[in-house]
Amino acid sequence: MDNHQTETITSFDGTTLAIHRLGEGKPVLLLHGLFSSAQMNWLRFGHAALLAEAGFECLMPDLRAHGESAAPHDPAAYPQGVLTQDLAAVVAELGLVDYDLVGFSLGARTAAAAVIAGLAPRRLALCGMGLEGLAGWQRRSAFFVDAIDRFDEVKRGDPAFMAVAFMKQMKVDRVAARLLLQSVDDIVSADLEKITVPTAVICGDKDGDNGSPQDLVQALPDGRYREIPGTHMSSVTEPDLGIAIRDFLAEA
């Protein structure tokens, strides 16, 4: 059982965000994926513990409408780019200057958008992400909005079955999640040139959910590919994810 601590901060618009901490040392921000949480993505399978053992302080926000963070139902709480604004608020509130930034899936997308918008981590790791997952988000988002809209009628064999099953497992607030999905913008591929920090693209060998990780590496000024075992969902459960993140962050 982990011994992490949880605190809350107030984001730019007054929304309460939960932040989980584990370890002491060099700060690393870890952003979880869609419908998930810091507990599920980083704590449950030992990735945060592995990083803490390597001398990092893991700072793990629950994204807006996820985990222990607030999930408002007011559409005004979901302006375009709200997750990027939340991340900037977290960095400012925690006073982070020399830190690393890691995201999985939607967390990776949020991390990339935030760096394009001006955040300057020492190193960046984009996990479970390919080029199309950044530049073609609207198609991906539409899939999940449809899963929410058909939530009670989706049966096994339906392409949305796994997404609905995960939402049920995580007790996702579907009203808030739907609003959040519509607040996320596509990233223009040319803007990836603004991500000049050393960036690892870490992806499962059977994970094509967000497009080609190799194409994403090619679009980044200082990108490198790290392949780990698994699909989009299963790669999070494997120790290889934490090991790949640790080894990349320890390179410099």
CATH number at residue 31: 3.40.50.1820
Q: Report the phi/psi class of residue 234: left, alpha or beta, with left for phi > 0 and alpha for psi in -120 to 50.
A: alpha
Give Cα separations from 142 to 109, 136, 185, 207 (angstroms): 16, 11, 12, 19
Q: Which long-range contacts (CB under 8 A, 24 or more apart) does 37-46 make?
A: 37/62, 37/66, 37/67, 37/68, 37/170, 38/62, 38/67, 39/67, 40/170, 40/236, 41/104, 41/107, 41/236, 43/2, 43/4, 45/236, 45/237, 45/238, 45/239, 45/241, 45/242, 46/239, 46/242
**Residue segments in the chain with a per-residue pLDDT below the cut of 50:** 1
Residue 165 CB partners (closer than 8 Å, separation 6+): none
Closest CA to 107 of 98, 99, 115: 115
> Does residue 231 form part of some domain?
yes
Residue 145 inside a domain? The answer is no
For the chain, the residue count is 252
**Residue 193 included in any domain:** yes
> Could you give the CA distance from residue 88 to residue 20 in angstroms, rounded to a whole number?
17
Query: For residue 43, is it within any domain?
Result: yes
Assigned domain for 223 exists: yes
The total of structural domains in the chain comes to 1
* pLDDT at residue 18 in the model: 98
Residue 50 covered by a domain: yes
Q: Which residue has the tokens 């760096």?
A: 115
Question: The domain containing residue 106 runs over which residues?
Answer: 5-135+185-249
pLDDT in the model for residue 2: 67
Within a domain: residue 171? no
- What is the structure's pLDDT at 1? 46
Residue 31 lies in a domain: yes
